[in-house]
Amino acid sequence: MLDAYFSRKVEKAEHISVLIRKFEGNLPKDAENPLPKLIDEETIEELLKTTFERIYELSGRRLDERLRHIRKWNVLRILGIPSGFRRHKEKDEALAKENREALLALSLLQEVLGVKNPIELRDIKLRPVEWRYYTIELRGDEIYNEKGEKDPIYTELLKRDNGFRQALYALEYSQQAT
């Protein structure tokens, strides 16, 4: 199950993969006030394939960037040149976090699509089975589903992704205006 609205609104490609969930057959087929589907039968395959390719490339680039930083830091350290331990440690932690996020997104997409690399991606065809509606509600800084349970994925996206946050607040504002 892929969110057909917010998957086009998130800022980072890695965040599209967390909007893919296990299909829940008990979700309603109709909604009272549905959001527009920004993905349809023709665009879902292209979206997932390009997202996979971007994340595949991004995960390698992030790892290279982190390793390059570690090598430079080690050379300076071995030569005894002070270069600011705290600064290097903070940069390494930020690069490690970005790398973990990209690798997790890649792993999720590999599991969902059943491929390991972009070459295998050419042989598969993707199509939606059916459309279902997942109701969410914004309460403060948290998002809840139709059962009243906190949705950890959407709540975390609200904190981390500017595109998601802006789209959600714009929807909230437009609903309050009507």
Q: How do residues 40-89 score in pLDDT, each as one tens digit?
A: 888 999 999 999 999 999 998 888 888 888 888 888 888 888 888 888 88
- 176 pLDDT tier (thresholds 50, 70, 90): low
C-alpha distances in Å from residue 103, one per residue of 40, 59, 176: 27, 6, 39
Q: Which domain holds residue 105?
A: 6-135
Report pLDDT digits (tens) over 26-45: 888 888 888 888 998 889 99
Residue pair 14/26 in contact (Cβ under 8 Å)? The answer is no
C-alpha distances in Å from residue 78, one per residue of 82, 89, 93: 10, 16, 21
d(Cα 60, Cα 143) in Å, to the nearest integer?
33
- 21 pLDDT tier (thresholds 50, 70, 90): confident
Whether 167 is covered by a domain: the verdict is: no
pLDDT value of position 9: 94
Whether 162 is covered by a domain: the verdict is: no
Whether 140 is covered by a domain: the verdict is: no
The whole-number average pLDDT for the span 109-131 is 89
Domain count, the chain: 1
Whether 151 is covered by a domain: the verdict is: no
Whether 149 is covered by a domain: the verdict is: no
Q: Is the pLDDT of residue 163 over 70?
A: yes
Whether 97 is covered by a domain: the verdict is: yes
Percent of the chain with pLDDT over 90: 46
The whole-number average pLDDT for the span 140-168 is 94
d(Cα 76, Cα 129) in Å, to the nearest integer?
56
